[in-house]
Amino acid sequence: AQSVTQLGSHVSVSEGALVLLRCNYSSSVPPYLFWYVQYPNQGLQLLLKYTTGATLVKGINGFEAEFKKSETSFHLTKPSAHMSDAAEYFCAVSGKAAGNKLTFGGGTRVLVKP
């Protein structure tokens, strides 16, 4: 069984400040981990994913995430927030044994203050 916990349903950051979104997962098999972003009235767009290899993964729009197996975490960061980063972010887990089935966390809504 797989599950994802995203700490904080809402995060408020100032423009130019660090964005940190927390994600912890549970998986009985080696996980594949994903971050998706959802803008209002739109579908989900893949930001980045970890499958194997390098644990620091770089994605689009300046985001990156680090897989830490010992902490079962996959936190998402961006050094400097931009107004366009205001959206909802979802962490998800899958795995080879899960047949590409994604299990999502509850999401974190990011508000960027000018």
Partner 1 sequence: EAGVAQSPRYKIIEKRQSVAFWCNPISGHATLYWYQQILGQGPKLLIQFQNNGVVDDSQLPKDRFSAERLKGVDSTLKIQPAKLEDSAVYLCASSLGRDRGLDTQYFGPGTRLTVL
From the list 8, 23, 12, 22, the residue with the least C-alpha distance to 85 is 12
- Which residue lies nearer to partner 1 by CB, 6 or 73? 6
From 14-22, 45-53, 57-65, 71-79, span contacting partner 1 (CB under 8 A): 45-53
Query: Which range, of 20-28, 60-68, 70-78, 96-104, touches partner 1 by CB under 8 A?
Result: 96-104
- Residue 41 lies near partner 1 (rule: CB under 8 A): yes
Q: How far is the CB of 106 from partner 1 (least distance, A)?
A: 5
Burial letters for 18-48: b for 16+ Cβ neighbours within 10 Å, e otherwise? ebebbbbbebeeebbbbbbbeeeeeebeebb
Q: Is 72 in the site for partner 1 (CB under 8 A)?
A: no
- To which residue do tokens 């927030």 refer? 81
User: Would you give the end-to-end CA distance of the chain in angstroms?
Assistant: 41
Residues belonging to the chain? 114
The answer to the question of residue 8 lying near partner 1 (CB under 8 A) is no
Which is closer to partner 1, CB of 59 or CB of 62? 59
Question: Quick check: 22 binds partner 1 (CB under 8 A)?
Answer: no
Of the candidates 67, 75, 77, the one whose C-alpha atom is nearest the C-alpha of residue 30 is 67
User: Is residue 7 within the footprint of partner 1 (CB under 8 A)?
Assistant: no
